[in-house]
Chain A
Amino acid sequence: MVMKKRLAGFVLILLLMFPLSVYSGVPLETVKGQITRVLDILRDPALRGEAQRKIKDEKLSAISEEMFDFTELSKRSLGQSWNKMTPEQQKEFVKLYKSLLKKVYADKITSYTEEKIIFKRENTLSEKTVEIETAILTKTSEVDINYRVIEKGGYWKVYDVVIEGVSLISNYRAQFREILANQTPEALLETLRKRVGKGQPS
């Protein structure tokens, strides 16, 4: 009995020594779980129709907050330019960028329930980043979608989505770079404000 207890204690200590994040498979399972939840919401018959739209959007928004690291996403989308912004500008940028992404993709994603998703594998990119390969099977083709996740405080969060080789942050970075080549960060923020549709002054 005592032995058993000791063994259990030993195992517990061992487990504690290795935080959950090191176990391979965790990033994939994390993303898989989140996507499954998104699909469940999209397929939920009780949430069909315009009347339920708001509840549905709120639920999806909650998952996206949990799933994505919007600060990391913003930082990487700006590249070098991130450092040229003041902390206030950075903060506002994250906020605006997040609303833009949510706004743009909320409509798209809701029409999107029938396709089958397969989770292929995960590739280690660096010590703290992992890429999860997935594919969506549509009626006529297979679309490769990779999620890049970063480990922060034991949680894996998505900081980039790569669709058919096209990285989201890299694509936005090309756009931001062109804007920032001629304009100030403030002008970029103004463009984003207009785009998001809340012309709040800073």
Chain B
Amino acid sequence: MLFALFLLNPSRAFAIAPSMEPHALPAQEEEGTLTTASDSLRNEESLFVIAEQRGPDREEPVKERSGEENDLTEESAAEEAPRIADPLRPWNKTMYHFNDKFYFWVLKPVTQVYKYVALEPLRIMCNNFFDNLRAPGRFVNNLLQWKTKAAGNEFVRFAFNSTAGLGGLADAAKELLHIQKSPADFGQTLGRYGIGQGFYLVWPILGPSSPRDTVGMVGDYFLYPLSYIDISFVYSAGIYGLETVNKTSFRIGDYEALKEAAIDPYVSLRNAYFQNRKKEVGNNNK
């Protein structure tokens, strides 16, 4: 609970890509790049296992030293994984700095103004509205993952919220029918089918991703109703912008705290992204 709120959703949150304090770790910057190659070699075997892994079942090849201090059990050895392949580190790092600046110079100030202007009930309605539009995507992905109950729930939620919830402005399905949202996205579906993340890939503005999750994003784009509305680029960018700013308005401070807590924010964020996605893929048995 202590540091709970700031990780709310590292994968989805826009522009999560902090910048490494240049003065904090001066020597690391250069040497870090040197190790990248060997790092990714070392990680080759883990390249395609990151996502499929469901439990703490991965073995650490390195043997522990003996000694009474050593109650690092298999459980904690498994926590060593996943080591993430990062062959595009120079690109990723650049994008991460870019996104960090984007957050602090653009997204955050805009969101602060928005938050000041728009009252909370309005922002919650806006959140519900966009969330409802994402329901078809969740429905299809739950179905693709054979989570029929979750898919059914999403179907009912979409139908109920679109009508009784006044076009999705209210989450009536949650309030009245007590049906919770069942998140599912296409990257998760691919992971569920056994496709691994591949490697770390940071996109400008969109933030941390991987080849698999990038394909996932494209898939989700086609499952998003607004993608089919024939409007100019400016308008659709505006709509995406509103969705993002509105979402961010509930999360100001999360990213800052994540960055503040990290010793190497780039590594911290990369690790958080993969851990979070691994959980989302592995979470399907519920």
Distance to closest chain A CB from B170 (angstroms) = 13
Chain A residues positioned under 8 Å from B5 (CB to CB): 108, 112, 115, 136, 138, 143
| Residue in A79, A80, A105, A141 whose beta carbon sits within 8 Å of that of B3 in the complex | A105
Whether the pair A175, B28 counts as a contact (CB closer than 8 A) is: no
State in angstroms the CA–CA spacing of A136 and B1 once bound together. Answer: 8
| Residue in A83, A101, A129, A187 whose beta carbon sits within 8 Å of that of B70 in the complex | A83
Distance to closest chain B CB from A131 (angstroms) = 10
Interface residues of B in 230-286 (CB under 8 A from A): 250, 253, 257, 260-264, 267-268, 270-272, 275-280, 283
The verdict on A173 contacting chain B, using a C-beta distance below 8 Å, is yes
Distance to closest chain A CB from B200 (angstroms) = 12
Whether the pair A178, B2 counts as a contact (CB closer than 8 A) is: no
Given contacts A83-B70, A129-B75, A165-B279, 20 further A-B contacts (CB under 8 A): A38-B1, A64-B2, A79-B79, A79-B80, A108-B257, A115-B5, A138-B5, A140-B250, A141-B250, A161-B3, A163-B3, A174-B83, A178-B28, A178-B264, A179-B25, A179-B28, A179-B264, A181-B35, A182-B32, A191-B24
Secondary structure class of chain A's binding surface, majority of residues: helix
The verdict on A167 contacting chain B, using a C-beta distance below 8 Å, is yes
Chain A residue nearest to B21 (CB atoms) is A195
State in angstroms the CA–CA spacing of A171 and B150 once bound together. Answer: 30
The verdict on B62 contacting chain A, using a C-beta distance below 8 Å, is yes
State in angstroms the CA–CA spacing of A109 and B261 once bound together. Answer: 13
Interface 1/0s, chain A 60-87, versus B by CB < 8 A?
Answer: 0000100000000001100110110000
State in angstroms the CA–CA spacing of A183 and B35 once bound together. Answer: 12
Q: How many residues of B contact A (CB 8 A)?
A: 58
The verdict on B6 contacting chain A, using a C-beta distance below 8 Å, is yes
Interface 1/0s, chain B 1-12, versus A by CB < 8 A?
Answer: 111111111100
Chain B residues positioned under 8 Å from A192 (CB to CB): 263
Chain A residue nearest to B183 (CB atoms) is A141
Q: With A125-B75, A136-B1, A194-B24 known to touch, is A83 a contact of B69 (CB < 8 Å)?
A: yes
Whether the pair A191, B263 counts as a contact (CB closer than 8 A) is: yes
The verdict on B141 contacting chain A, using a C-beta distance below 8 Å, is no
The verdict on B59 contacting chain A, using a C-beta distance below 8 Å, is no
Chain B residue nearest to A109 (CB atoms) is B2
The verdict on B72 contacting chain A, using a C-beta distance below 8 Å, is yes
Closest 7 A/B residue pairs (Cβ): A165-B279, A174-B271, A105-B2, A182-B31, A104-B261, A166-B275, A163-B7
The verdict on B127 contacting chain A, using a C-beta distance below 8 Å, is yes
